[in-house]
Amino acid sequence: MLPVQSTTTWIGASMVRVYVPGGAHPEPGSGRVGAVSDVDPLTPVLVGVSQLSRRPQGADDLNDPASLMVEAARLAGSDSGSSSALDRVKSIRVVESLGWRPPNAAAVLTRALGLEPVDLVLTATGGNGPLSLLHDTCAAISRGQLDAALLVGAEAFYSRRVARTHGVEAPESPSDADEPPRVIGDQRVGSHPAELGVGLTVPAQVYPLFSTARSRSLGDSTAALHPREAEVWSRFAEVASRNPYAWSRQAYSAEEIAEASPDNRMVAHPYTKRCCANIQVDQGAAAIVMSAGAAEAAGVPRERWVFPWAGAEANDHWFVSERMDLHSSPAIAECWKMLRQSTNVDPDDISLIDLYSCFPAAVAVAADEMGLDLADAARPLTLTGGLAFAGGPGNNYSMHSLATLVGRLRVDGGLGLVTGVGWYLTKHALSLLSATPPPEGFRHGSPQPRVDARPKRSVVAGADDLSLETFTVFYDRDGAPTKAAIAGVSDQGARGWLTSDDPRVLNALVSDQEISLSDCALP
């Protein structure tokens, strides 16, 4: 037997003593907490997770977001293996629900769960919200300001749809008039007036611009979804087909995803319906995060512990119009660099990855910036199947990613990465977790100053010297093209927006024909 020695590192002012056979730190991916006999009491640990998909069977079986959140919270408590873990929660932290917006959702849940927390939190709009909550929670635990928190979110848009079909009222979640909670995140609107002027009002209209810009940057055709992005989406559908919590468990080929059909209509070129996040779901997920000391006191078995190692967050230039190009993300690149430097982790050490996957461009751009191979079928860049297939419950998808990752790490060990995105490749969060304690404590930071220092484009209201940069064409529900939104760059380097509903222009754009931007109109 190897001699047992100790090594000491520091988390802020807290000392961590980790005992390892032979005196060496465990290698990333080397296994669980079995080699550890002592963990600093201020180390944050995920102790309980849950996720649920509740498909109603009829008008008398409908869900509402609050009920889904309460159920997810109780399931997370059970998952911890401790009868008191949920009761010890001192902070309820809610991911903003798009379908339920009471004055204080956390206060409503407090009463429903019979808890008495001292800190009530809500996230700003954005799919980065669950990871922002995780990072803020872990930082507070590391500072000794908090010892147990519940992170939770849910949506029930499918129940609303069923209610409309049957001509009944959807169940209402409680909406008591409480004082507003503390809000984490940036609440600015995500769109520039010039973008709104050409009809770019929702993500399904904006993200296609990124895919087309990426294809143009690679010198490839823009007449359809990029083949590599279609293949990635096919692998995501395959993962979802094996995920018991996925909303859609149908595996699709790349052709079945990229090609329009009666049950896969075009939404905005080059995206079909199967390319788009599916918000028509009834899903909830939750996580309980505790200090190691609180987890020990609650009797949470060590095999339930999963350790957040590090988090990084940053925003790209806020408006799409201001970014130097529309096929990259400096914020993702800088966050990835910070995450690696703060943990000394090699990307090859990360065996489990879930990239935020609202649309194909989100995955492709992130993979480009992080040096991940889109073609690597052995590491498909999703753990759930993504928002198009596993389900896109508003801002809360990444909570499902976390729940899935925690389950995998408990069984397989190693290191896992989850990312989140808000607005239009605008807000970014990256989280690294492991089955073993972090060698130097939880790390959290932002490279925002480095991103902000990068140049911006000005936005012109009108210009006659624009060169085509990227475009999308919108379609109606019958599959007919209706309008194009076109981005161009002027000789002076400014970005301008144009639009057209001329069938000749729309056909030329989607068939890779040359067009004259003089045939298009200013917004």
Model confidence band, residue 452 (pLDDT cutoffs 50, 70, 90): very high
37 pLDDT exceeds 80?
Answer: no
pLDDT at 518: 85
Domain that holds residue 468: 457-523
The count of structural domains within the chain is 2
Give the CATH number of the domain where residue 163 resides.
Answer: 3.40.47.10
Let me know if residue 266 belongs to a domain.
Answer: no
* First CA to last CA distance, the chain: 74
Let me know if residue 223 belongs to a domain.
Answer: no
Q: Are 418 and 461 part of one and the same domain?
A: no
pLDDT at 2: 26
133-147, 172-186, 443-457, 486-500: range with lowest mean pLDDT: 172-186
Output 330 or 28, whichever has higher pLDDT: 330
Q: Are 463 and 324 part of one and the same domain?
A: no
pLDDT in tens, 59-89: 999 999 999 999 999 999 999 999 999 999 9
pLDDT at 413: 96
Q: Are 344 and 465 part of one and the same domain?
A: no
3 pLDDT exceeds 60?
Answer: no
150-154, 248-252, 346-350: range with lowest mean pLDDT: 346-350
Q: Are 322 and 415 part of one and the same domain?
A: yes
pLDDT at 176: 75
pLDDT in tens, 281-301: 999 999 999 999 999 999 999
Q: Are 472 and 426 part of one and the same domain?
A: no
User: Mean pLDDT throughout 431-439?
Assistant: 96
pLDDT in tens, 162-182: 999 999 988 887 777 778 999
23 pLDDT exceeds 60?
Answer: no
User: Mean pLDDT throughout 132-144?
Assistant: 98
Q: What is the signed CA dihedral for 380, 385, 386, 389, rounded to 10 degrees?
A: 140
The H or E element that residue 92 is part of is strand 91-94
Note every long-range contact of 33-37, with CB atoms under 8 Å and residues 24 or more positions apart, other chains counting: 33/302, 33/303, 33/305, 33/435, 33/436, 33/437, 35/436, 36/436, 36/437, 37/4
Task: Please give the Cα distance from 523 to 197 (Å, whole number).
Answer: 5
Let me know if residue 508 belongs to a domain.
Answer: yes
Domain boundary among 409, 430, 452: 452
pLDDT at 124: 97
27 pLDDT exceeds 70?
Answer: no
Let me know if residue 137 belongs to a domain.
Answer: yes
Phi then psi for 471, rounded to 5 degrees?
Answer: -160, 165
Q: Are 413 and 325 part of one and the same domain?
A: yes
Q: Are 122 and 98 part of one and the same domain?
A: yes
Query: Of how many residues is the chain composed?
Result: 523
Model confidence band, residue 8 (pLDDT cutoffs 50, 70, 90): very low
User: Mean pLDDT throughout 323-332?
Assistant: 98
Output 41 or 20, whichever has higher pLDDT: 41
User: Mean pLDDT throughout 423-435?
Assistant: 98
62-71, 199-208, 373-382, 409-418: range with lowest mean pLDDT: 373-382
Domain boundary among 452, 474, 501: 452
Task: Please give the Cα distance from 448 to 331 (Å, whole number).
Answer: 8
Model confidence band, residue 13 (pLDDT cutoffs 50, 70, 90): very low
Q: Which two tokens stand for residue 405?
A: 């990752």
Model confidence band, residue 21 (pLDDT cutoffs 50, 70, 90): very low
Model confidence band, residue 1 (pLDDT cutoffs 50, 70, 90): very low
pLDDT at 379: 87
Give me the residue label for tokens 């512990």: 305
337 pLDDT exceeds 70?
Answer: yes
Q: Is the peptide bond before 270 cis (omega within 30 degrees of 0)?
A: yes
User: Mean pLDDT throughout 113-119?
Assistant: 92
pLDDT at 143: 97
Task: Please give the Cα distance from 417 to 313 (Å, whole number).
Answer: 14
CA distance to 222, 328, 470, per residue, from 211 (Å): 9, 10, 9
Q: Which residues pair with 282 in a beta bridge?
A: 156
Task: Give the angle subtended at the CA of 485 by the CAs of 483 and 488, to the nearest 5°.
Answer: 145
User: Mean pLDDT throughout 103-120?
Assistant: 94
Model confidence band, residue 522 (pLDDT cutoffs 50, 70, 90): confident
The H or E element that residue 227 is part of is helix 227-241
Q: Are 80 and 158 part of one and the same domain?
A: yes
Give me the residue label for tokens 């191979």: 373
Query: b vs e for 294-310, b when ≥16 Cβ sit within 10 Å of the residue's Cβ?
Result: bbebbebeeebbbbbbb
28 pLDDT exceeds 70?
Answer: no
pLDDT at 16: 30
Give the CATH number of the domain where residue 505 resides.
Answer: 2.40.50.840
Let me know if residue 94 belongs to a domain.
Answer: yes
Q: Are 448 and 461 part of one and the same domain?
A: no
Contacts with 193 (C-beta within 8 Å, 6 or more apart), sequence order: none
Q: Are 376 and 486 part of one and the same domain?
A: no
Alpha helices in 383-483 (DSSP H): 397-412, 448-452
